[in-house]
Amino acid sequence: MVGRTVSHYRVLELLGSGGMGVVYRAEDTRLARQVALKFLPADLARDRHALDRFQREARAASALNHPHICTIHDIDQADGQPFIAMELLEGQTLKARLQGRPLPTAEVVDLGLQLADALEAAHAKGIIHRDIKPANVFITTRGTAKLLDFGLAKLAAEPRPGTSEAPTAAGDWVTGAGAALGTVGYMSPEQVRGEVLDARTDLFSLGVVLYEMATATAPFGGTTSGTVLSEILTKVPVPPVRLNPDVPADLERLVSKLLEKDRTLRYQSARDLRIDLEQLRRAVSSPAAARSEQASIVVLPFENLSPDPDNAFFADGLTEEIIADLSKIRTLRVISRTSAMVFKGVRKSAPAIAKELNVRHVLEGSVRRAGNNLRITAQLIDAATDAHLWAEKYTGVLDDVFEIQEKLSRTIVEALKVRLTPEEDRSLAARQVPDARAFERYLRAQQELYRMTPASLDRAGELTREAIAIVGPNALLYATLGHISFRLHDTGVRTDDATLQEAVAWSDRALELSPACGLAFLVKGQLAWKRGEMGAAIRLMRRAVELGAGSEALSWLSYFCFQAGGLDECRDAAERAMAADPLTFGPFAGAFAALVDGDLQLGLLRTRAVADVYGGVSASNVYLAFALLYAGQDDEATRTLSELAHSGGGILVDIGAALSAMIRRDRDATDRILAQNPGFLSLARADKELSWWLADGFAHLGDHDAALEWLGNAIDCGFCNHRFWSTVDPLLAPLRGDPRFPALMDKAREKQRAFEA
């Protein structure tokens, strides 16, 4: 076969062979790229079942476009021999990598995370792999895991025996009963028994692989296949720590859950597994492990038991105020409001939530408000034991809300045995909005602010002004108006300079009243960033962090440092944000920290996590689209951007339409959309972020001149992370050979030095 030309592929060398195929390195003469050709052996090509299985591998894998699944380019025949043209990978299989030695824990977790991400994507399309094993996992020279051989996969879309309809529900992601396909030693118990399978069979097999990576030993063994299959059905594997004392307890628990013989007790989805692996990754690779010993708590959204459902704002507001109180205590790690609110209305046990957020204690509560009367109940739970440390009931009238809030916060502090500094003690007694009626309007304004729609932002402004009319000049309320004005501008609802000037004026007035108002410094930092004053933006956001502006300030600080090239501080701020806010602002900051290190897959993982939490349509779609582009998933990126057409108008619609056309490499559509939206281009010229996106988009489109122009504009506006553009951003790779590109990077380097000075 070597030296022959098959279709439009010139075969160069034999790479290897196995029971289901012979693989060659070849050159695609049409596209001038090297590929791998997998041929079905001649004797099997005459076997209808083998041929069906071979073709099923191609169909299943070609339906998936994912960074951790080997890409299928083509399927064809040569002289009656079917073959698949696929991505050519450089590296070795996991089987070759193991060589009888356990892998470092960090590598086990990292590879497991990548494979869980791949399975999540496959299962979402109704595809079960059914043959997860080290020989089917390829590790590239850059450490990227690629899942191979979907030869045993079966599409959920295929009709079941005896029916003419394809299954549609998630519970129908199954394979037919009666055939135990797979590889002995990696099969699930239900696979051994020949039962109907679902996605959980892959999770069991992945558990076997993780066990083997961590211990260099198979969990189920024997001298015959019958012995191995019997152990799968009956044996509890030796705890990994006995075979490798370096295996952490959390990894051991995770693997044990994957290897549950009863699949109802196993991980129920690859997504749940991915979340646990991400938390474990942080624990084994960062100072987070040390932080886990710190006193830590999540305040879950208080349940609204009021007769009037409109009083939900009051329950949410009380939750937020208790979080704000506790967040002032430096020795206590408090999960931020944004991550806590994800669990509103979610029926999960306190230990499960605590595990997901990596905290020891959980506060649950309820609020009943009838007219002017209040009844608040709360209970503190030690998640490690699921024991209730205390439960209290507080009653009073609306004017008593401040006293109840303070009493509740102090009771929590005492129960956790946290010692307060004199400053922290005073802060718990402070009343930032001292009038109950104004406080009520402030809480309503916060609820509207977090909805982030044009109408809700306007309503938040109205309510805040009503609160000011009641209490008079107030630093927190002024800073809130500044925050609302910035968000109106940043989300494209109002793009005029007057809106930014409003944000400046309100934040200045807040600082005149209270020079230690953290929210005002956060707004000032955002405004400096908008003006391209990156050095000032970073200094102001650092101050916001010092004054307790929380995970939002940490996330912005990390993003500023990413753009300005302050890579160490970018990582540090992201790590702190992820500890305080594991589900929203934290992963967002962590995504940019991953890009700093060139880890495009981790960046995608974290960006997807943020988008999953927010749901719906928002600016997170744009960030997710670029993360998908960086990972080579153009089609999904286009779909993600197309959703912005339903965002209710404004700049997000323009961004989504323009970038979608660029990704599709549709030049006519790109020119038409940009010509129809001159205001968008005018805004982009003053915005480093939009300029960066357009530079990437034009580079992907193939217009080097426009890409370089927008890249230069981004640098002029203050984006000067030359390392990211020179070595990481894959969309800019075509520009790096252009003689104008190094000159732009020199310009960015000089601008970064100016910021550092």
Give tens-digit pLDDT for 129-183.
Answer: 988 999 999 998 778 899 987 755 554 334 334 433 333 333 333 344 444 456 7
**Stretch 600-626: mean pLDDT:** 80
695 vs 105, 258, 579, 600, 634, CA distance in Å? Answer: 39, 44, 33, 18, 16
What is the Cα–Cα distance from 417 to 297, expressed in whole angstroms?
Answer: 13
Label residue 374 left, alpha or beta by phi (over 0 means left) and psi (-120 to 50 means alpha).
Answer: beta
Is residue 651's pLDDT more than 80? no
581 vs 146, 184, 294, 342, CA distance in Å? Answer: 30, 42, 15, 11
* Residue predicted with more confidence, 464 or 256: 464
Q: What are phi and psi of 179, to 5 degrees?
A: -125, 115
In which band, very low, low, confident or very high, does the pLDDT at 75 lie, cut at 50, 70 and 90? confident
Residue with structure tokens 């090239």? 565
Give tens-digit pLDDT for 546-558.
Answer: 998 889 999 999 9
3-state class (DSSP) for residue 468:
helix
Crossing angle between the packed helical segments 688-701 and 704-716, to the nearest 10 degrees: 170
Q: Which residues are catalytic?
A: 131
**Stretch 445-470: mean pLDDT:** 90
- Residue 44: per-residue pLDDT: 67
In which band, very low, low, confident or very high, does the pLDDT at 238 lie, cut at 50, 70 and 90? confident
**What is the torsional sign of CA 175, 181, 187, 192?**
positive
- Residue 152: per-residue pLDDT: 55
What is the Cα–Cα distance from 411 to 392, expressed in whole angstroms?
Answer: 9
**Stretch 435-449: mean pLDDT:** 87
- Of all residues in the chain, what percent carry a pLDDT higher than 70? 92
What is the Cα–Cα distance from 657 to 608, expressed in whole angstroms?
Answer: 21
Is residue 53's pLDDT more than 90? no
Label residue 707 left, alpha or beta by phi (over 0 means left) and psi (-120 to 50 means alpha).
Answer: alpha
Q: Which residues contact 111 (CB under 8 A, 6 or more apart)?
A: 94, 103, 137, 139, 145, 213
DSSP assignment of 532-583 equals T-HHHHHHHHHHHHHTT-HHHHHHHHHHHHHHHT-HHHHHHHHHHHHHH-TT
Give tens-digit pLDDT for 360-379.
Answer: 999 999 999 888 888 999 99
Q: Which amino acid is at 450?
A: Y
- Residue 473: per-residue pLDDT: 96
Is residue 20's pLDDT more than 70? no
> Cβ(332)–Cβ(296) under 8 Å?
yes
Structure tokens at 85: 């043209």
Query: What is the torsion angle, in degrees rounded to the nearest 10, for the CA atoms of residue 491, residue 495, residue 500 and residue 506?
Result: -60
Residue with structure tokens 């991953």? 594
What is the Cα–Cα distance from 73 to 87, expressed in whole angstroms?
Answer: 7
Q: Which amino acid is at 608?
A: R
**Going from the N-terminus, what domains does the chain have, and what CATH number goes with each?**
5-87 (3.30.200.20), 91-285 (1.10.510.10), 297-430 (3.40.50.10610), 620-756 (1.25.40)
Give tens-digit pLDDT for 674-716.
Answer: 998 888 888 889 889 999 999 999 999 999 999 999 999 999 9
- Residue 467: per-residue pLDDT: 95
Q: What number of helices (H) and strands (E) belong to the chain?
A: 35, 17
H/E segment holding residue 18: strand 9-18
Crossing angle between the packed helical segments 475-490 and 497-513, to the nearest 10 degrees: 160
Count Cβ neighbours within 10 Å for each residue of 432-442 and write b for 16 or more, e otherwise.
Answer: bbebeebbbbb
Average pLDDT, the chain: 86
Q: Which of 27-36, 76-85, 712-721, 746-755 has the highest mean pLDDT?
A: 712-721
Label residue 465 left, alpha or beta by phi (over 0 means left) and psi (-120 to 50 means alpha).
Answer: alpha
- Residue 397: per-residue pLDDT: 87
In sequence order, the β-bridge partners of residue 570 are none
Q: Strand 332-334 and strand 295-299: pairing?
A: parallel
**Stretch 436-457: mean pLDDT:** 85
What is the Cα–Cα distance from 730 to 725, expressed in whole angstroms?
Answer: 8
